[in-house]
Structure 1
Amino acid sequence: METLLKEMEEYAAVRHVPIINEQERSAFCRIVQDFCPHRILEIGTAIGYSALLLARCAADDACVTTLERSEERAEQAQKYIARSPYASCIKIHVGDAGKLLQQENIRAGAPYDLVFIDAAKGQYPDYFAKALPLLADHAVLLADNVLFRGYVRSEQKIPHRYRTMVNRLREYLCLAAETPGCHTDILENGDGLAVTRWDRTAEASTTERGRNHAEKA
C-alpha cells in the first residue's frame, strides 16, 4: 500500500494533480482514525489518493462513495484503487458533484458519518448545503484548501482571478461556523483543513430555542 501511495504522489506531482497536502496528511488520517466512520462520502476523487487514505484509516467495514467530474481522472483513480486492498469498498461516481448529491443513488448511501470536500472551491457553499442533510446525527465534515494560499483570511488585495473563489470559501467558513449543530476548527498546516463536527441534536435544540423565543416575542 505504501508503494502504491508513493507512486500516486509522484504521478500527482509530475502532472500537477491536486491531492491532499503533505503537511495535512497526518492530521487528516488521525481525524479519520479517531472518528472511525463506517459510511463516507468524498466530493472530489481526483486520482483516488484521499479515497484510499479514507478507506485505510476508517472502520474495517467502511464504504467510500466518491464523486469526480473528470472522466479521465476517475478512470485513473479506478486503476489505482483496483490495485489496492480497498477495491471492493470504494465506489466512484462520475459527474457534476452538485447534481450527483441530489441523485437517489447517492442519497441512498446516507446517512454518512464523514464527508470530505476537496473539489471546485467556488462550489463549497453549495456542497455544504447539499451534504448537510445526508449526514448522520453525529458526523464530521472535512473541507480542504479553505484558506487558499492565505487569501481567505488576508486583508491584502485579492488577484481578480481568485476573488470569486475566495469569497465563496469565506462564505463556506461562515456557514460551517454559524450553522446550528456545527462546530468548526481550522487546521492551518498546508492550505487549511476545516474540521466541522456535526451534532443534529444540537441543531434541533437551537431551532427549538429560536422558535420559543419567537413565540414569546
Structure 2
Amino acid sequence: MDLLLKKMEEYAKEYRVPIINENGKRVLVSVIGEKKPKKVLEIGTAIGYSALLIAQHSDPEIKILSLELDEQRAEVASSFLSESSYEDKIEIRQGDAAQILNTLTDFYDVIFIDAAKGQYPYYFKQALSLLAKDGVIIADNVLFRGYVESSEKPPRRYKTIVNRLREYIKMATEHPEFETKIHHDGDGLAVSYHRGKNSEET
C-alpha cells in the first residue's frame, strides 16, 4: 500500500495533479482513524490518493463513493485503485458533483470536500442533507495559499475563490449543528463535527 501511495505521489508531482499534502494528510488520517467510518462520500477524486488513504484508515467494511468531474482523472484513479486491495470498496462516479449530489439518498459518516473551491458553499449545503447524525464534514484547501486569512487583497484571478472559501468557513463555523475546527496544517482543513442534534433541538 505504501509503495502504491508513493507511486501516486510521484505521478501527481510529474503531471501536476493536486493531491492533499503531507501536513494535511496527517490531519485527514487522524480524523478518519478516530471516526472509523463505514460510509464516506468524497467530492473530488483526482487520482484516488485521498480515497485510498481514507479506505486504509476506516472501518474494514468501508464503502466510499467518490465523485470526479474530469473523465481522464477518473480513469487514472480507477487504474491506481485496481492495484490496491480496496478496489471493490471505492466507487468512482464520473460527472458533475453538483448534479450527482442531487441524486444521492444515502447518509454518510464522513463527507470529504476537495473539488472546485468556488463551489464549497454549495457543497456544504448539499452535504447537510447527506450527512449521518454525528457525522463529519472535512474540507481541504480552505485557507488557499494563505489568501483566505490575509488582510491583503488576493490576486484578481483568485478573488472569487477566496471569497467563496471565506463564505464556507463562515457557514461551517457559525452553523448551530456543527462544531468546526480550522487546521492550519497543509493548505488548511476545516473539520466540522455534527453535534448529533436535529435543527429543531438546537
| TM norm structure 2 | 0.98
Residues in 2 aligned to 1:203 and 1:196: alpha-carbon distance in whole angstroms: 16
Structure 2: how far apart are the matches of 1:21 and 1:203? Answer: 35
SS at match of 2:160: helix
1:79-98 alignment, distance < 5 Å = 79-98=79-98
Would you identify which runs of 4 or more consecutive aligned residues in structure 1 move more than 6 Å?
none
Do the aligned partners of 1:113 and 1:135 also contact (CA within 8 Å) in 2? yes
Which structure's relative contact order is higher, taking Cα pairs within 8 Å and 6+ residues apart? 2
SS of corresponding position for 1:101: helix
CA distance in 1, matches of 2:180, 2:131: 15
Q: What corresponds to 1:59 in structure 2?
A: 59
Does 2:142 align with 1:151?
no
Q: 1 CA distance for matches of 2:170 and 2:199?
A: 16
Which residue of 1 is the match for residue 33 of structure 2?
33
The amino acid of 1:55's aligned partner reads A
Partner of 1:214: none
Kept in 2: contact 1:180–1:202 (CA 8 A): no
Shift of 1:204: 3.0
Larger Rg: 1
Q: Deviation per CA, 1:108-166, whole angstroms, max 9, x where unpaired?
A: 3x210000000000000000001111010110000000000111011012110000000
The one-letter code sitting in structure 2 at the alignment partner of 1:162 is Y
Aligned length: 202
Provide structure 1 residue ranges, at least 5 long, that are not aligned to the other structure: 207-217
Tell me how far apart the structure 2 counterparts of residues 190 and 200 of structure 1 sit (CA, whole Å).
28
Please report the TM-score for the alignment, with normalisation by the length of structure 1: 0.91
**Counterpart AA for 1:140:** V
Q: Secondary structure in 1 aligned to 2:33?
A: helix
The residue identity in structure 1 corresponding to 2:92 is I
Alignment partner of 1:129 out of 122, 125, 142 = 125
* Cross-structure match for 2:19: 19
